[in-house]
Amino acid sequence: MSATEAPKPAPAGAPSKAPATNRIGHTLQDYKGAASTLCAGCGHDSITSQIQRALFESGVNPYNVAKMSGIGCSSKTTAYFLSLSHGFNSVHGRAPAVATGSYLANRELLHICVSGDGDTASIGLGHFMHMMRRNVPMVYIIENNGVYGLTKGQFSATADKGSTHKKGFENEMMPIDACALAIEMGCDYVARSFSGDIKQLVPLLKGAMCHGGTSIVDVVSPCVTFNNHEGSTKSLKFARENEEPLQEIGFVPYYDEIKADYPEGTMKTIELTDGSKLTLKKLERDYDPSDKMRALDLLQKARDERLFLTGLLYHNPNSSKGIADQLNMVDVPLAHLPESVTVPSAAVLAEIMEEYK
Amino acid sequence: MSLQTDADSPTATATPLPSTAPIGNEADAIVNDVVIQVATSNGTGSQSANLVLMRTIFEMGVPVSGKNMFPSNIQGLPTWFTIRVNKDGWSARRRDADVFVAMNPESAAEDIAGMRPGSILILNEELQKFQNRDDIHVFVVPFNKLVIPVCPDGRLRRLVVNMMYVGVVAYLLHLDVEELKGAIARQFSKKPKAAELNSNAALAGYQWAAENLPKQYKFVVKRMDKTKGKVIIDGNSAAALGLMYGGITVFAWYPITPSSSLGEALIDYMARYRHDPETGKATYAIVQAEDELAAMAMVVGAGWDGARAATSTSGPGISLMAELTGLAYFTEIPAVIVDVQRVGPSTGLPTRTNQGDMLKAYLLSHGDCKHPLLIPGNVKECYEFGIEALNLAERLQTPIFLMTDLDMGMNLWMTDPFEAPTKPLDRGKVLTAEDLNRLGEFARYRDVDGDGIGYRTLPGTKHPNAAFFTQGAGHDDRAKRSEKPEDWQGNLDRLTHKFNHARTIMPKPVLNADEGATLAIIGFGTSDPAIEEARHILRTQHGVKSSYLRLRSLPASAEVIQYLKDNDKVYLVEQNRDAQVASILRMENPELGNRIVSVLHYCGLPLDAQSIVEQLEVHLGKRKS
Ligand SMILES: Cc1ncc(C[n+]2csc(CCOP(=O)(O)OP(=O)(O)O)c2C)c(N)n1
Ligand code: SF4
Ligand SMILES: [Mg+2]
């Protein structure tokens, strides 16, 4: 099933001016939430805006969305978009597991989970890994600033080796690369982006929403208050100066056709679960995102050489079974099953009792 | 005065009891009141043999219960299975056995030393060197020789030899051979070859005993009709059945003794009975989580969406579930946690029983947290409360703990068959899009009905007013983040009000009172059979009449408080060191606190009547402490 709904024919006589509404009749305003309480300039806020845009432009039905998060500045942001959707700001690190339960109960919802690097790569690393291992359909966004913002700037496990703390000392430990782990765990849609790269982030998010399994979007999102200094590899300046996009990315919904015309061999098309497509225009590197070993290799190189590579890192064209199919679940959301289906008959109980007689 | 229940009195004799003369005489036989204990090493398949023995006695119409005492280990350590046969249906542990089968060299010396004088020992010939008692009846059996002709395959002998002691016990206790054969056929109904092999072994044991051992008349099992229509089941299977009949849709768990068999039983039942007959698809999801935090997190996530969700665990898992339990409490999400208690703290004794999580479960998580507990006192209630737990969780929008223990969960109990639920599931207060159209307004945490329980909408509800933001952080009645003191305190007070409402709808206690009772007892859970037996002993041997209130849930209902008010002194029996339930009652009823006198049992073994009687004797001035 697609998270997005196909456009309805425009009502006769509808104004043809720039639409204030998307194809299911919602305005961008409908995709907004409460006012943000984050620091002015925080990378997380620009990601929130891109999430709103991606949802709005894709025509996602807000009533079909469940917003999940853990704890952290990043996790708070689920309150700042889609106030028409149910949201669950759970506990630190456990959002992947909470979201897994939610998905099992209602597989019709589009689950969007927003987490931080501390939430995902430290306290919740185990749940993160197991969510991917189970291939729980979900857009999982990591707002990655290399620090614990909400507890005032301690290093997180994604801080690069050699990156400096606000108090001057260096991180000497290996960073955890959530994208490398994701590929390793069999995740079929793995992307990295930068909160300031609107052009790239929006199509990557749209693509993630059309993917049938877990999709990981790790977004470097500068903490302007605690990790924006010289020496930080997650500062705005560092990200702006060092970002190296692997592709120029476009998104084409399943009901549209690819219009852009590129010279032979310069563009790849990725078909997503619901039939929508990502167009990847070649930049400097010749990169094939369906090559798992190549992706891991490149990420290792990026870690060693401190490259900030962004784009679609990995996509498996033969997507793996999602958890609902692994468990052979009925199509109807389990939460909606009537008692006539969930409570076996008295005759069955009598049969069971007979075995214990 | 001795309160020994066995009619047998210790008779120490100077010389070894000869094993050729008949033991006892038929006229004085103790009929249908015997405890048989078998010591083997774990992993040798003795469980099947013991089940066959139990089943044979059950089919003879004699009440029987079985307890497996096993090590926290997979193979090779001593394990004891105890079968209590009792015409009156007493099923609590008894301290010592009447008939002991010694098959395990590891424990033989200690086992034999611990035997009660006058009791019967069936001893594997190879363990004779451990036998130095002259005050017990000893039957030496060359099991390892007897098994050779019966079981040509040397590799299987270690397993099959167990069925030979079944034959010997059957002969000595006068069991019905036809029932024995039937029990074996049933035990191995899916493996005809094994059935034949085991049947031959049992009969060979029986035959050998008939030809070589003297008759034994001290303990005799005779056919009666007290098991007709009854079933034998363990509490974990019963609770799993309860969850299935409670319409469970999501179960997330992480294996831990003694709760694992609950998850496994549920997997089996659901695979058989909860697939769509047309598509073959599952109407449920069962997930083996990565740990108990994840298990609880999945339950909370599923409950949020409106699934009937549960997990099962034991002490260490309860500790891990603490934070998420607090989240569910404060965000008011239905969840069911089955706690099959084992001995803590820490790893403790994973394969021993107690009631040591009561206080922890009641107050689990940081801050002001309180949770309703359902406390089944028998396997039938494990089933019934399994259903009820899912109903109460949705009704009260809060985590509900189903508190059983290893003794209940893993041991075998005789019971009346379970009945299918007659009332519809309680799905609690949920507003649909149509409801929202009608009402116009919706505030998630507003106490509209005066019971402290707000209305919820489920994710996916297609209505502009449906959504709300669930958060463990402070919130107002519209679920909006709030740090205002009045919002915070108001919310906590409403939660207390809801908790007090729970008092009125949870299962009421059961009161059993002798007329003219002078002694008041409160107990719960698996203490029940031992308490009833202790009352019987007090009544028949001390002339002390008692009343007994069996607690079936917490928070305590008005009936429990009234019982405390009606009795100046109440003995509260529980299986933990710190008098945990007494502490809960005292905390909530300080003015009645000094009426409670604790009777505690916490050595890890199931509670026995004698332990209660002895402690009460001290209080009654009949025994020095
Ligand atoms: C169990 C637990 N431990 C510690 C905390 C304190 N805490 C809150 S947020 C946070 C780190 C958040 O870091 P991250 O996920 O990177 O989010 P950011 O604030 O950087 O967006 C910590 C340690 C907590 N809420 N819960
Ligand atoms: S502390 Fe950092 S992460 Fe948190 S809101 Fe401020 S800038 Fe953003
Ligand atoms: Mg962070």
Give the count of domains, chain B: 4
Q: For residues B148 and B168, give the distance between their C-alpha atoms in angstroms, rounded to a whole number.
A: 16
pLDDT at B1 > cutoff 90:
no
Looking at the structure, tell me whether residues B82 and B155 fall in a common domain: yes
Q: What domain range is B497 assigned to? A: 433-505
> Which of B505, B533, B559 is the last residue before a domain boundary?
B505
The nearest CA of chain B is from the CA of A100 a distance in Å of 6
B463 close contact with A: CB closer than 8 A:
yes
In a domain, B438, yes or no: yes
pLDDT at A183 > cutoff 70:
yes
Take atom 22 of ligand 1 and give the residue whose Cα is closest: A151
Counting Cα atoms < 13 Å in the Cβ hemisphere of B219 gives 27
Instruction: Name the token pair of A91.
Output: 């506990």
In a domain, B562, yes or no: yes
Report the predicted TM-score, pTM, of the whole model to 2 decimal places.
Answer: 0.95
Residue pair A295/A311 in contact by the 8 Å Cβ criterion: no
In a domain, B227, yes or no: no
Looking at the structure, tell me whether residues B260 and B118 fall in a common domain: no
- Which stretches of B363-424 are DSSP H helices? 379-396, 406-410
Q: Which chain B residue has the Cα nearest residue A65? A: B460
Looking at the structure, tell me whether residues B193 and B59 fall in a common domain: yes
| ipTM rounded to 2 decimals | 0.96
Instruction: Name the token pair of A133.
Output: 């291992």
> Which of B415, B442, B473 is the last residue before a domain boundary?
B415
Instruction: State the average pLDDT over residues A206-215.
Output: 97
Amino acid residing at B77: L
Q: For residues A247 and B565, give the distance between their C-alpha atoms in angstroms, rounded to a whole number.
A: 78
Question: What is the pLDDT confidence band of residue B5, given thresholds at 50, 70 and 90?
Answer: very low
A124 close contact with B: CB closer than 8 A:
no
Instruction: State the average pLDDT over residues B429-456.
Output: 97
Place of tokens 């469940």: A66
The nearest CA of chain A is from the CA of B480 a distance in Å of 10
Q: What is the pLDDT of residues A90-107, one digit of tens each?
A: 999 999 999 999 999 999
Residues of B in contact with A68 (CB under 8 A): 301
Take atom 2 of ligand 2 and give the residue whose Cα is closest: A223
Take atom 1 of ligand 2 and give the residue whose Cα is closest: A149
Question: What is the pLDDT confidence band of residue B70, given thresholds at 50, 70 and 90?
Answer: confident
Q: For residues A354 and A334, give the distance between their C-alpha atoms in angstroms, rounded to a whole number.
A: 29
A44 within ligand 2 shell (Cβ under 6 A):
yes
- Dist. CA A73 → ligand 1 center (Å): 8
Task: Tell me how long chain B is.
Answer: 625
Residue pair B344/B316 in contact by the 8 Å Cβ criterion: yes
Domain spans of chain A?
Answer: 28-326
Looking at the structure, tell me whether residues B468 and B554 fall in a common domain: no
DSSP B142-196: -HHHHHHHH---GGGHHHHHHHHHHHHHHHHTT--HHHHHHHHHHHTTT-HHHHH
Q: What is the pLDDT of residues B487-525, one digit of tens each?
A: 999 999 999 999 999 999 999 999 999 999 999 999 999
Greatest Cα pair distance in chain A: 76
The nearest CA of chain B is from the CA of A122 a distance in Å of 15
A73 within ligand 2 shell (Cβ under 6 A):
yes
Rg over alpha carbons for chain B, rounded to the nearest Å, is 27
A119 within ligand 1 shell (Cβ under 6 A):
yes
Residues of B in contact with A130 (CB under 8 A): 289-290, 294
A28 within ligand 2 shell (Cβ under 6 A):
no
pLDDT at B45 > cutoff 90:
no
User: Of the candidates B305, B473, B480, which has its C-beta nearest A105's C-beta?
Assistant: B305
End-to-end Cα spacing for chain B: 14
Looking at the structure, tell me whether residues B516 and B556 fall in a common domain: yes
Q: Which residues contact B134 (CB under 8 A, 6 or more apart)?
A: B13, B14, B15, B16, B17
Rounded alpha-carbon distances, angstroms, from residue B23 to B65, B100, B214: 26, 15, 7
Looking at the structure, tell me whether residues B474 and B521 fall in a common domain: no
- Dist. CA A151 → ligand 2 center (Å): 10
Q: Is B264 exposed, middle or buried (0-12, 13-18, 19+ CB in 10 A)?
A: middle
Q: Which residues contact B124 (CB under 8 A, 6 or more apart)?
A: B102, B103, B141, B143, B144
Residue pair A200/A311 in contact by the 8 Å Cβ criterion: yes
CATH number at residue B409: 3.40.50.970
Instruction: State the average pLDDT over residues A335-350.
Output: 98
Closest by alpha carbon to A50, among A132, A95, A7, A114? A114
pLDDT at B6 > cutoff 50:
no
In a domain, B2, yes or no: no
Closest by alpha carbon to B308, among B244, B249, B242, B374? B249
- The pLDDT assigned to B303 comes to 98
Residues of A in contact with B298 (CB under 8 A): 97-98, 100-101, 104
CATH number at residue B215: 3.40.920.10
- The pLDDT assigned to A31 comes to 98
In a domain, B247, yes or no: yes
Residues of A in contact with B294 (CB under 8 A): 94, 97, 100, 126-127, 130
B419 close contact with A: CB closer than 8 A:
yes
- The pLDDT assigned to A3 comes to 56
In a domain, B116, yes or no: yes
In a domain, B393, yes or no: yes
Question: Is the preceding peptide bond at B142 cis, omega within 30 degrees of 0?
Answer: no
B461 close contact with A: CB closer than 8 A:
yes
Looking at the structure, tell me whether residues B359 and B461 fall in a common domain: no
Residue pair B520/B549 in contact by the 8 Å Cβ criterion: yes
Q: What is the pLDDT of residues A55-91, one digit of tens each?
A: 999 999 999 999 999 999 999 999 999 999 999 999 9
> Which of B359, B385, B415 is the last residue before a domain boundary?
B415
- Residue B620 has a CB neighbour count (10 Å cut-off) of 15
Question: What is the pLDDT confidence band of residue B111, given thresholds at 50, 70 and 90?
Answer: very high
Classify strands B373-374 and B399-405 as parallel, antiparallel or unpaired. Answer: parallel
Q: For residues B275 and A103, give the distance between their C-alpha atoms in angstroms, rounded to a whole number.
A: 19
A327 close contact with B: CB closer than 8 A:
yes
Question: What is the pLDDT confidence band of residue B76, given thresholds at 50, 70 and 90?
Answer: confident
Q: Which helix (H) or strand (E) element contains residue B415?
A: strand B412-415
- Residue A33 has a CB neighbour count (10 Å cut-off) of 21
Cα dihedral across residues A34, A37, A41, A45: positive or negative: negative
CB contact under 8 A, A84 and B421: no
Looking at the structure, tell me whether residues B129 and B48 fall in a common domain: yes
Question: What is the pLDDT confidence band of residue A7, given thresholds at 50, 70 and 90?
Answer: low
Q: For residues B452 and B329, give the distance between their C-alpha atoms in angstroms, rounded to a whole number.
A: 13
pLDDT at B3 > cutoff 50:
no
3-state SS of B438-459 is HHCCCCCCCCCCCCCCCCECCC
- The pLDDT assigned to A24 comes to 94
Q: For residues A2 and A337, give the distance between their C-alpha atoms in angstroms, rounded to a whole number.
A: 22
CATH number of this structure's domain A28-326: 3.40.50.970
Cβ under 8 Å to A: B residues 237-256: 237, 241, 244-250, 252
Instruction: State the average pLDDT over residues B87-98.
Output: 96
Alpha-carbon dihedral B229, B233, B239, B240, rounded to 10 degrees: -100
Q: What is the pLDDT of residues B255-267, one digit of tens each?
A: 999 999 999 999 9
For residue A69, the SS3 value is: strand
Place of tokens 């801080």: A159
